[in-house]
Amino acid sequence: MMNPKAISKQTLLRLPSYLSYLKSLPEHGCENVSATMIASALGLNDVQVRKDLACVSKKGRPKLGYVTEELISDIESFLGYDDLNDAIIIGAGRLGGALLSYEGFNEYGLNIVAAFDVDESKIGTEICGKKVLDISKIKELCKRMKIRIGIITVPGHSAQKVCDILVDSGIFAIWNFAPVHLKVPDNILVQQENMAASLAVLSAHLAESIKKNEI
Amino acid sequence: MMNPKAISKQTLLRLPSYLSYLKSLPEHGCENVSATMIASALGLNDVQVRKDLACVSKKGRPKLGYVTEELISDIESFLGYDDLNDAIIIGAGRLGGALLSYEGFNEYGLNIVAAFDVDESKIGTEICGKKVLDISKIKELCKRMKIRIGIITVPGHSAQKVCDILVDSGIFAIWNFAPVHLKVPDNILVQQENMAASLAVLSAHLAESIKKNEI
DNA sequence: TAGATTGTTAATCGATTAACAATC
DNA sequence: TAGATTGTTAATCGATTAACAATC
């Protein structure tokens, strides 16, 4: 599409679940798929699904729905899953290690090339074949390899410092697992992975359920 | 409060960031804090912050703002951070291990008591002092210890099966790290930790930046 | 054809923001 | 007092849903 209509953030967030649902369908017998099907499988409204799909794919056909294969590849290419973005990870602790060793990211177009840490005992080692480097080398590596994504998995108190280094190194987008609000220039995206917020939702629901059940 | 007004999900999601900001303030010299301060530190609208705080704490005072200490403890108690909820984790792989060994959850009122797996080589071992048990023992443990939170860190293809076991075991809330939509009865909450969605936002932003910069 | 499904236009809903009087 | 800040009411904004004609 030459002039894609601006896509809402909500829509963007739903696309990956459509994709994962579509991929879970059996190869045979599902050449076509309707918005109604997708919506009911994911607990969404069918009009919403149709509108979302209209942003990224061709028109569906009345009575038939969409061509499953086309839908999959359109969503994948819209999300940029078909070419890999290199990324680095800062903080080679438990969480950093878990992310480093998660093979699945390649499927989502993310390729983690190296990790950085300040801990001397970690520097020089490898985690799942990825080198752990001294944090002072971030800028040089980012420039040389044109890295544009940084993943922050350091403790909260040093996250802003790491963030500043990343910005200075020419990073465009930051995926932040530290539970702090990062200050960045306007053109840089921070995607906050907010586990504390998720937990808040869980525990509020729990408190409510308990109240209901025990009264 | 006897009759707390219903709190919006958005508000609930913002509360943890207020809390983390408030806790980051220096002990001395910040007896009071204004909604304006919080808003500008976190990049939010000040009226929004005021409305959010009104849901969980006492009134602020014109010109002075809120009492920092009171605000902290009101938010903490609203979020249930002051008493621990026991939880179990299903899937003792890399991610499960990372979560198991993250000490910080206690601060958020979450206490992971054990892990479960199907892998014989993992069963019977310990990760950070937490036992890894056979998945067939879930129900018995949940009933006996009145566990109400389950954390799913198994691969996508077995997530629904694990979910069904959890529901059958009397769990009220599920924190799901597997990238699939879980089907549960109405009264059970599924909090989806959606890394694929986060990545979608990142990569869409990146694609846009690149386009802008390279044209 | 009949009926399922599409895309679009209009109505609804909920959340955010603006305006403003009240207060310390 | 003057000015910063509060809480509330009204206006705006954006996203979701309902209604409906078009289509295979």
Which CATH number do you get for residue B173?
3.40.50.720
How many CA atoms lie within 13 Å of B174's alpha carbon, on the beta-carbon side?
31
Q: What residues of B are in contact with residue A172 (Cβ under 8 Å)?
A: 205-206, 209-210
> In terms of pLDDT, which residue wins out, B79 or A1?
B79
Q: How far is the CA of B52 from the C1' of D8 (A)?
A: 14
Domain-embedded: residue B109: yes
Residues A97 and A179 grouped into a single domain:
yes
* In the predicted structure, residue B68 carries a pLDDT above the cut 50: yes
Domain hosting A175: range is 85-197
Of A31, A46, A78, the residue that ends a domain is A78
Q: Are B50 and B13 in contact (CB under 8 A)?
A: no
Distance, in angstroms, between A206 CA and closest chain B CA?
A: 7
CA distances from A2 to A5, A6, A56, A79, A110 (A): 9, 12, 12, 16, 25
Q: Which nucleotides of D are covered by protein (CB under 7 A)?
A: 3-9, 14-19, 22-24
Q: How far is the CA of B116 from the C1' of D14 (A)?
A: 43
Rg of the Cα trace of chain B? 21
Contact partners, residue A174, CB within 8 Å, separation at least 6: A149, A150, A151, A152, A163, A166, A182, A184, A188, A189, A190, A191
Of A78, A112, A132, the residue that ends a domain is A78
Rounded to whole angstroms, the Cα distance separating A13 from B205 reads 13
Asked whether residue B51, judged by its CB, lies under 7 Å from any atom of the DNA or RNA strand C, the reply is: yes
Residues B72 and B98 grouped into a single domain:
no
Residues A99 and A124 grouped into a single domain:
yes
Q: Strand A126-127 to strand A149-152: parallel, antiparallel, or no bridges (unpaired)? A: unpaired
CB pair distance less than 8 Å for A209 and B173: yes
- Residues B126-145: pLDDT tens digits? 999 999 999 999 999 999 99
Residue at minimum CA to C1' distance from nucleotide C22? B62
- The answer to the question of whether B133 is labelled as a binding residue is no
Domain-embedded: residue A170: yes
Residues A74 and A99 grouped into a single domain:
no
Domain-embedded: residue B42: yes
Contact partners, residue A136, CB within 8 Å, separation at least 6: none
User: What is the count of structural domains for chain A?
Assistant: 2
How many CA atoms lie within 13 Å of A88's alpha carbon, on the beta-carbon side?
32
Residue at minimum CA to C1' distance from nucleotide C19? B47
Residues B18 and B115 grouped into a single domain:
no
Residues A13 and A54 grouped into a single domain:
yes
CATH assignment of the domain containing A34: 1.10.10.10
Contact partners, residue A95, CB within 8 Å, separation at least 6: A153, A177, B98, B102
Residues B58 and B159 grouped into a single domain:
no
Domain-embedded: residue B173: yes
Band the pLDDT of B1: cuts 50, 70, 90: very low
Domain-embedded: residue B206: no
Domain-embedded: residue A148: yes
Q: Which of B13, B198, B199 is closest, CB to CB, to A197?
A: B13
Interface of A with B in 11-70 (CB under 8 A): 12-17, 19-21, 24, 41-43
Rounded to whole angstroms, the Cα distance separating B167 from B176 reads 13
Inter-chain contacts counted by CB atoms under 8 A, chains A and B: 178
* Chain A 61..120 CB hits on strand C (< 7 A): 61-66
CB pair distance less than 8 Å for B12 and A200: yes
Residues B123 and B191 grouped into a single domain:
yes
Ramachandran angles phi, psi of B124, nearest 5°: 95, -20
Q: How far is the CA of A149 from the C1' of D18 (A)?
A: 42
Interface of B with A in 89-148 (CB under 8 A): 94-95, 97-98, 101-102, 104-105, 108-110, 148
Residues B51 and B119 grouped into a single domain:
no
Q: Which of B85, B201, B206 is closest, CB to CB, to A206?
A: B85
Q: What residues of B are in contact with residue A95 (Cβ under 8 Å)?
A: 98, 102
Nearest chain B residue to A41 by CA distance is B181
CA distances from B117 to A53, A194, B100 (A): 37, 26, 13
Residues B44 and B71 grouped into a single domain:
yes
Band the pLDDT of B65: cuts 50, 70, 90: very high
Rounded to whole angstroms, the Cα distance separating B77 from A156 reads 22
Cβ-based neighbour number of residue B197 at 10 Å: 18
- For the segment B92-101, the average pLDDT, to the nearest whole number, is 91
Rounded to whole angstroms, the Cα distance separating A171 from A143 reads 9
Asked whether residue B54, judged by its CB, lies under 7 Å from any atom of the DNA or RNA strand D, the reply is: yes
Q: Give me the tens of pLDDT residue by residue for chain A, a chain 215 residues long.
A: 333 457 899 999 999 999 999 999 998 889 999 999 999 999 999 999 999 999 999 999 999 999 999 999 999 999 999 889 999 999 999 899 999 988 889 999 999 999 999 999 999 999 999 999 999 999 999 999 999 999 999 999 999 999 999 999 999 999 999 999 999 998 899 999 989 999 999 988 888 888 777 65
Asked whether residue B45, judged by its CB, lies under 7 Å from any atom of the DNA or RNA strand D, the reply is: no
Best mutation site among B10, B20, B84, B199 for testing chain A: the one with the most A CBs within 10 Å?
B199
Residues A124 and A186 grouped into a single domain:
yes
Nearest chain A residue to B209 by CA distance is A172
Rounded to whole angstroms, the Cα distance separating A12 from A15 reads 5
| The predicted structure's pLDDT at residue B27 | 85
| The predicted structure's pLDDT at residue A215 | 55
Domain-embedded: residue B188: yes
Q: Are B19 and A156 in contact (CB under 8 A)?
A: no
Cβ-based neighbour number of residue A132 at 10 Å: 22
Domain-embedded: residue A204: no
Residues B92 and B160 grouped into a single domain:
yes
CB pair distance less than 8 Å for B13 and A189: no
Helices (H), chain A: 9-24, 35-42, 46-56, 68-78, 94-100, 138-145, 156-168, 195-214
> In terms of pLDDT, which residue wins out, B177 or A211?
B177
